[in-house]
Amino acid sequence: EAQVTQNPRYLITVTGKKLTVTCSQNMNHEYMSWYRQDPGLGLRQIYYSMNVEVTDKGDVPEGYKVSRKEKRNFPLILESPSPNQTSLYFCASSSMSSSNQPQHFGDGTRLSIL
């Protein structure tokens, strides 16, 4: 089954404790990206990747890092999480680095930073 898998689905942690949210897709997609969803703001892009070893900032990259060492994986790293990073996070992938391809989203990761 074609899917984007995120882990963990839920996490409560404390300020400053490094964490990684993993994202994996099994569709051989070149393009992957991370979004965060906040009430009243919709979803905003954090980082994206056009292909292996190619990553770039989205609209709200501060406080986040990513890596793309393999095509299927695109982890989101919070080196020193802060309460303003409490949010619902989505990983997405699509079949080309093209604006017209619908992105397939994971089920979301709900992060609470205390």
Partner 1 sequence: AQKVTQAQTEISVVEKEDVTLDCVYETRDTTYYLFWYKQPPSGELVFLIRRNSFDEQNEISGRYSWNFQKSTSSFNFTITASQVVDSAVYFCALSEHGSGNTGKLIFGQGTTLQVKP
Give the binding site for partner 1 (CB under 8 A): 31, 33, 35, 40-45, 48, 50, 56, 58-59, 88, 90, 92, 94, 97-108, 110
**Shortest Å, Cβ 109 to partner 1:** 10
User: Residue 75 phi/psi, 5° resolution?
Assistant: -75, 150
The torsion angles phi and psi of 56, rounded to 5 degrees, stand at -155, 160
Q: Shortest approach of partner 1 to residue 76 CB, angstroms? A: 16
> Which is closer to partner 1, CB of 56 or CB of 79?
56
Q: Which residues pair with 113 in a beta bridge?
A: 13
Q: How far is the CB of 9 from partner 1 (least distance, A)?
A: 9
Shortest approach of partner 1 to residue 28 CB, angstroms?
A: 16
Nearer to partner 1, 69 or 100 (CB): 100
